[in-house]
Amino acid sequence: MDTSKVDRFVADKWDDEIVPQLVEYIRIPNKSPMFDADWVKHGYMEDAVTLMERWAKAQPIQGMQVEVVRLEGRTPLIFIDVPASNGGSNDDCVLLYGHLDKQPEMTGWDPEFGPWTPVIKGDRLYGRGGADDGYAIFGSLTAVLALQEQQLPHSRCVILIEACEESGSYDLPAYVDHLAGRIGKPSLVVCLDSGCGNYDQLWCTTSLRGLAGGNFTVKVLSEGVHSGDASGIVPSSFRLLRQLLSRLEDENTGKIRIEDLFVEVPAERMAQAREAAKVLDTAIFDKFPLLPGMKPMADDLTELVLNRTWRPALSVTGVDGMPPLASAGNVLRPHTSVKLSLRLPPTLDGKRAGEVLKELLLRDPPNGAQVTLDLEKSSSGWNAPAQSPWLTKAIDTSSREFFGKPAMYMGEGGSIPFMGMLGEKFPGAQFMITGVLGPHSNAHGPNEFLHIPMGKRVTACVARVIADHHLASQRGETTGVAAVAGGQERGDHGCC
C-alpha cells in the first residue's frame, strides 16, 4: 500500500463528494422513530435513504449490489454487498456498520448554527447527524475505493446502514435474521458510530454501556388546584418524585445506590482507563462546556474515565407536567413526569436492570401516590472479545501511518445495541469500533459537528485495516476467537 496515495485519494473524495453530500444530508430532519412517530408520513427518512442510495450506486465498484431492504412495519435498511477484488476472498467477509437516523433538535444552538442548517466553519461541519452517523456509508465505501484504486486485494465487504439506531435498533435483529444468508459470517466487524478521545490519533472502543430508561410519572391529583389552598395538605408530585429517585441515586454525590447495578471492572479495562486518563489528562472534562467554577464529579482522572465507561449513572433528559415559567401560576400540579436515562455497566444484563429499576421505583409509593414507569429501553451493553494479534498490529499501524501517533483504546459511555447482537451471532468475529465524535463535537446536543480531518483519517485507517484483514485471512488468522495479544496483557492495547 502506498499510504500517501491513500491519503490523497481519501482527502479528495471527502472534499469533492462526501462533504457536499453530508451538507445535503444534514438538511433532512429525519429523526429516529422514537422522536417522530409519523416518520413514514413525513418522508424525511426516505429522503435520507434516497440520498445515500443514489451516491452509493454511482460509485465505480465492479459487481457491487446496493439495495434498500424493507420489512413491513419497520424502518428501511441499506444493504451493500461488495465482492472481493484483486485476489481477495469471497469466503471471508468484513461487515461495516452505520446508521442514518438522527436525534431530535435539542435547544441551545448558537445563532449561526442549527440542527438542519449545515455550516462549514474551519475544519468543522456543523449540523445534526453528520458525525452521528451520516458519514459512515461514505467513509466505508471510500475505504474500499482507496484499495481498489491501487488494485490492492480485499475480502468481500458487506455494509449495513440502519434507520433506527437512535431508538435502540429495535428493527435491526429482524433485518440481520432476514439477511443472514446474504451477510454470511464476518470475521471482522467495523463500526463507525463511536467516539474518540482526541483528534490526534485513532481511538478504538473496548466497551459500551447498556441503557435502561423510560417515562417515570408521579400523580397526586386529578386536576391542578390553588397552591395556597392545597400546599401543606396535598403532597407535591415533584417532591415525591424526587424522594423516589433518591432510592436510586445519591443526590449529593450522583452515585447509584443499588449494588445490583454495578459489576466488577475487568483488570484489562482498568489498565486501559489509567492509560487513557494519562493521555487525555484534563481533556476528559475540559471537552464539556462547563460553566465557570463548575467541577467534575471526581478529582481522580482515572475515576472519571471509569465513571463514564463502567459504572451506572442516571440522567433526567426530559420533563412533563410543568408549565413554562412564563405561564406558571400558583397551582399545585396534578403530576410530574420525567424521562430517565440510566446508563449500565457493559456486562450487566439490561433486562434484569430494567426489572430492578421498576421494582425499586414502584414499590410502596409515598402517600399512596399513583406511580408508573413505562420502560422504553432495557438493553445490555457490550464488552469486546479478546483481540487477535493481527488486528492489534493493523490498528496501530494505521494510526501511525495516517496520524503519526499510536492507536488508543477506551470504553465509551454510550450504547450501540447492534454490537452486543453481532457478538452473539458471530462469536468468532473481531471488532474495530471507532468514530469521529471527539472533544466538543456534542453528539445529540446543540452545535453538533463533524471534524472533517478526523473523518478523512479514520476512513484511511479503515482502508489499511481492511487490507491487512485480507493478509491475515490468507494466513488463516481471521477464523475463530484468537488468544489475547501480549500487549493487551500488559494493558498497552485493548479490544475494539
For 210-263+310-379, CATH number out of 3.20.20.300, 3.30.70.360, 3.40.190.10, 3.40.718.10 equals 3.30.70.360
| Max intra-chain CA distance, the chain | 82
- pLDDT of 13-41, one tens digit each? 999 999 999 999 999 999 999 999 999 99
Domain ranges of the chain: 3-208+382-489, 210-263+310-379
Question: Which one is predicted more confidently, 178 or 495?
Answer: 178
- pLDDT of 295-311, one tens digit each? 999 999 999 999 999 99
- pLDDT of 150-175, one tens digit each? 999 999 999 999 999 999 889 999 99
Dist CA 206 CA 495 (whole Å): 5
- pLDDT of 461-493, one tens digit each? 999 999 999 999 999 998 754 333 323 332 333
Q: At what angle do helices 3-13 and 452-474 cross, to 10 degrees?
A: 130
Dist CA 160 CA 149 (whole Å): 23
Instruction: Give whole-number Cα distances, 335 to 14, 38, 45, in Å.
Output: 51, 27, 35
In this prediction, residue 261 carries a pLDDT of 98
pTM of the model: 0.85
| Residue 265, all three cell numbers | 471492572
In this prediction, residue 38 carries a pLDDT of 98
- pLDDT of 249-287, one tens digit each? 999 999 999 999 999 999 999 999 999 999 999 999 998
What average pLDDT does range 2-9 have in this prediction? 98
Q: Report, in this order, helix, strand and coil percent for the chain, each rounded to 5.
A: 40, 20, 40
Write phi, then psi, for 195 (nearest 5 degrees): -115, 180
Domain 3-208+382-489 in CATH 3.40.980.10? The answer is: no
In this prediction, residue 425 carries a pLDDT of 83
Q: Do domains 3-208+382-489 and 210-263+310-379 have the same CATH topology?
A: no
The answer to whether the beta carbons of residues 34 and 168 sit under 8 Å apart is: yes
What average pLDDT does range 191-205 have in this prediction? 95
In this prediction, residue 480 carries a pLDDT of 54
